[in-house]
Structure 1
Amino acid sequence: MTFPAGAVEQPLEPLWRGLVVYRVLTLASAVVVAGLSLDEYARPGVAVAVLVVMAGWTAATAWGYALRPLGSRPAARGEPAPRDRRGLLAVADLAVTVAVMATTPLVQTPAQLAADAPVMGSIWTPGAALACALAYGVAGGLAGAAVLSAALVAVSARLGTEVGDILLVVLTALTVGFAATVLRRSAERVRRAVAEAAAAAERERLARAVHDGVLQVLAHVKRRGTQLGGDAAELGSLAGEQEIALRTLLITGPSVADAEGRRDLAAALRGLASGRVTVAAPAHPVPLPARDVDELVAAVAAALANTALHAGSAQAWVFLEDAGDAVEISVRDDGPGIPDGRLAAAEAEGRIGVARSIRGRVADLGGTITLDTGPDRGTEWTITVTKR
């Protein structure tokens, strides 16, 4: 099944365009109502000026809401969708609408005010609350409706006669805000499903190609190395580990970034599992910015590579703990440990693999890293990074 790109990346576009149509139609209605009773206003010229402002603002919001969203730009392939800036315009819309309503005592006569004549803007004014609902969901819709209701009561100085209009605005904004929230969540689920389906199809294609070549060669090297023994057995063991790691990657695949550019750290770390490496991570996703995930996985991979290089056949374990506001990764092995002063000596000799590949990456993320090691007690790296 295919989905239009706009329905996934910009699910609220039909509602924004519907809001523009609503503003245009209600502007026409407000102009007709004011025009029929223009001679009854205390200041007809001011009333006309307010209508002109409303028309100009309607045109500006039509351009901003539907024709060219503020701050919008096409997203590059693989890049998260740009942040929608129309919420700022919705707030400005609310301020302009309140200003239009505030002109009512200056334009209407005391008789009109006493007769409960429509305030300036009339049914054009609720559009601002609907814009806030589309931009910020239920909370934004209720906030916009509350501001318009307070302005209506302040202008008319009568709460009892305005209860019906207030309830209508509040319920409409609440409904639109709820619909906007549901559409956003549904679009995000669809986007993830489409991305996962595409990734699964690509993995399936690669799996067929790799199985006919690389995996069979690795399996053959593993069998022959075991049969030959000695150094060949060690090479066969390494080939077997790579076979397991490659099969795991083809089956699970890399974690997919969401619309905000975040990836699941737990899924990414599981891809490091092999015959000598055991990975334990929470069952639930641990989302972090994609760059942070890449750097943490690279740091862990560097620690595991250091274990394979210096500890031979040692077993290694990777533990991920989600502490809510931070993540902690522990990389342990049962090797001989690192002698005192060995890392400092290696760095002095210009061998900066540990300093740059592990500590440097963690430092760039603003995290901390500790090392617990010693002769005959293995090595444990503990990485802690605050979530962003």
Structure 2
Amino acid sequence: MTPPAGAVRRARSRARDATLVDTEHPLEPFWRGIIACRLLTLVTVVGVTLYHLRTGYESPAAAIGVLVVMAGWTAVTSWGYLGGLPGAPDVRGRLALADLGVCVAVMATTPWIVTTAHLDDGGPGMGSIWTSGAVLACAVAFRIRGGLLAAAVISVALVLSKDRFGALELGDIQLLVLAGLTVGYGSLVLERAAARLRRLAAEQAAAAERERLTRAVHDGVLQVLAHVQRRGAELGGGAAELGLLAAEQETSLRALLSGPGTTDAAGRRDLAAALRQLASGRVTVSAPGHAVELAATAAGELEGAVRAALANVALHAGRDAHAWVLVEELAGAIEVSVRDDGPGIPDGRLAEAEAEGRMGVSRSIRGRVEDIGGTLRLDTGPDLGTEWVIRLDRGTA
């Protein structure tokens, strides 16, 4: 059941107010932080460069030119890291890679612009701490791996451009690696937290919608379906199939109102949890204590086949009949059996029903199982009850 968009928005709003996290764009604070860092480091680099302009640079004009390029690129990245034009695709990952390339190019100008004496005195090369912004951007865009790789690239460029590796350079490299690792890890954690909040918001919205439907449907519709089921069994013939369909819809509606199993981000559902919802005073469900995960489509069709089999029990085996549903995990397969203690199905009864155009079993059980690549076996006989055995290979699920 898909909850209304309004319910999802309200649930997400409540989650956002409680956690101060934008679940749709959780990394926006990081991008804004990178912009602030870039601006502050640019001001610092400009001040240091102007202070040493006459004594520390072979070509002061070239140093000013590089500062102009840095200022222009800071404006470009600031606009891009804010998201660019409204509605435009998010290209911040590619912009972060371009940022890394520009920073390396700026650092590469060091041997031609900065004097050797200035570097020997511990002076910075071109770009200096401004280039750390590219490490932070790659960490946010590509998480831990991106932050560490960007830190490695900037570190190599630092050593090669200054043509030395001392305590000062080692300290800078350590800070770059630490920044890339920390910001990358923080981005990963925040993104996962936002995904959990989105799932929680969707579940809350679905629960609210189920509550609304329960109030709207109440027991009136369910009682009518149950009455049609009983009268169909009493009248027989074509009315019996109508009663079977009513029983299926009653079971489906009750399961829907009680809350169906949720589908995870990988599109899988817990079959065991879904079938446990079918348990009642006359139906016993035995399933593994852990999740039995299948593709959502396969799990839904298996659940529908089991419901149809239980509807047959209620319709043909009598009100006092008991049914048992067993879920087993075998080597490379899943097996679901539905057994009852009714009188069984007489020989030729299914073929006769199909010949008469009553397709209840064929459509509701066999059709569902075949659609997902499973196999169906029927064991029945007078005074033996009926057992449907559904087998589905893991490879098809």
How much is the aligned-residue C-alpha RMSD, in angstroms? 4.7
Residue type at the aligned position of 1:50: V
Residue type at the aligned position of 2:72: G
- Over residues 44-66 of structure 1, what are the superposed CA-to-partner deviations in whole Å (9 max), with x where a residue is unaligned? 44434433433333233223321
- Does residue 193 (structure 1) correspond to residue 209 (structure 2)? The answer is no
Residue type at the aligned position of 1:158: F
Contact in 2 for aligned 1:90/1:128 (Cα 8 Å): yes
* Aligned equivalent of 1:2, options 8, 14, 18: 14
Deviation at 1:134, TM superposition (A): 1.7
Consecutive unaligned residues of structure 2, counting only runs of 5 or more, are 1-12
Change (3 A) 1:306 1:282: closer
Q: Provide the C-alpha distance between the structure 2 equivalents of 1:173 and 1:11, rounded to a whole number of angstroms.
A: 18
The equivalent of 1:81 in structure 2 is none
The equivalent of 1:145 in structure 2 is 151
* Aligned equivalent of 1:64, options 64, 74, 80: 80
Contact in 2 for aligned 1:316/1:331 (Cα 8 Å): no
Q: Provide the C-alpha distance between the structure 2 equivalents of 1:386 and 1:159, rounded to a whole number of angstroms.
A: 57
The equivalent of 1:77 in structure 2 is none
* Aligned equivalent of 1:161, options 168, 177, 183: 168
* Aligned equivalent of 1:298, options 290, 297, 301: 301
Give the TM-score of the pair, scaled to structure 1. Answer: 0.70
Change (3 A) 1:281 1:230: same
What percentage of aligned pairs have identical amino acids? 44
Q: Provide the C-alpha distance between the structure 2 equivalents of 1:57 and 1:2, rounded to a whole number of angstroms.
A: 39
Structure 1 residues 165-314: aligned runs within 5 Å: 165-220=172-227, 231=236, 242-255=249-262, 260=265, 262-266=267-271, 269-270=274-275, 273=278, 292-294=295-297, 296-298=299-301, 301=304, 305=308
* Aligned equivalent of 1:330, options 314, 329, 335: 335
Q: Provide the C-alpha distance between the structure 1 equivalents of 2:379 and 2:91, rounded to a whole number of angstroms.
A: 55
Deviation at 1:204, TM superposition (A): 0.9
Deviation at 1:253, TM superposition (A): 3.3
Residue type at the aligned position of 2:182: T
Q: Provide the C-alpha distance between the structure 2 equivalents of 1:308 and 1:185, rounded to a whole number of angstroms.
A: 42
Give the TM-score of the pair, scaled to structure 2. Answer: 0.69
The equivalent of 2:125 in structure 1 is 119
Deviation at 1:90, TM superposition (A): 2.6
Change (3 A) 1:302 1:241: closer
Contact in 1 for aligned 2:107/2:125 (Cα 8 Å): yes
* Aligned equivalent of 1:15, options 27, 30, 42: 30
Aligned residues: 356
Q: Provide the C-alpha distance between the structure 1 equivalents of 2:149 and 2:82, rounded to a whole number of angstroms.
A: 22
Q: Between the two structures, name the one with larger relative contact order (CA 8 Å, sep ≥ 6).
A: 2
Q: Provide the C-alpha distance between the structure 1 equivalents of 2:152 and 2:26, rounded to a whole number of angstroms.
A: 26
Q: Provide the C-alpha distance between the structure 1 equivalents of 2:71 and 2:288, rounded to a whole number of angstroms.
A: 56
Consecutive unaligned residues of structure 1, counting only runs of 5 or more, are 74-83, 363-368
Q: Provide the C-alpha distance between the structure 2 equivalents of 1:360 and 1:236, rounded to a whole number of angstroms.
A: 24
Q: Which has the larger radius of gyration?
A: 2
- Does residue 96 (structure 1) correspond to residue 102 (structure 2)? The answer is yes
* Aligned equivalent of 2:48, options 14, 30, 33: 33
Contact in 2 for aligned 1:242/1:274 (Cα 8 Å): no
Deviation at 1:198, TM superposition (A): 1.4
Contact in 2 for aligned 1:332/1:380 (Cα 8 Å): yes
Contact in 2 for aligned 1:11/1:183 (Cα 8 Å): yes
Contact in 2 for aligned 1:296/1:361 (Cα 8 Å): no
Deviation at 1:126, TM superposition (A): 1.1
The equivalent of 2:7 in structure 1 is none
Residue type at the aligned position of 2:269: D
Moved more, 184-193 or 267-276: 267-276
- Over residues 263-295 of structure 1, what are the superposed CA-to-partner deviations in whole Å (9 max), with x where a residue is unaligned? 53437843883668876666556677xxx5135
Change (3 A) 1:195 1:240: same
Contact in 2 for aligned 1:24/1:58 (Cα 8 Å): yes
Change (3 A) 1:387 1:62: farther
Contact in 1 for aligned 2:148/2:177 (Cα 8 Å): yes
- Over residues 301-353 of structure 1, what are the superposed CA-to-partner deviations in whole Å (9 max), with x where a residue is unaligned? 35865897899659674637599xx8x4434345989x9xx99xx9xxxx996
Contact in 1 for aligned 2:338/2:389 (Cα 8 Å): yes
Deviation at 1:199, TM superposition (A): 1.2
Contact in 2 for aligned 1:318/1:329 (Cα 8 Å): no
Q: Provide the C-alpha distance between the structure 2 equivalents of 1:88 and 1:322, rounded to a whole number of angstroms.
A: 47
Equivalent residue of 1:179, what SS?
Answer: helix
Residue type at the aligned position of 1:209: A
Contact in 1 for aligned 2:228/2:246 (Cα 8 Å): yes
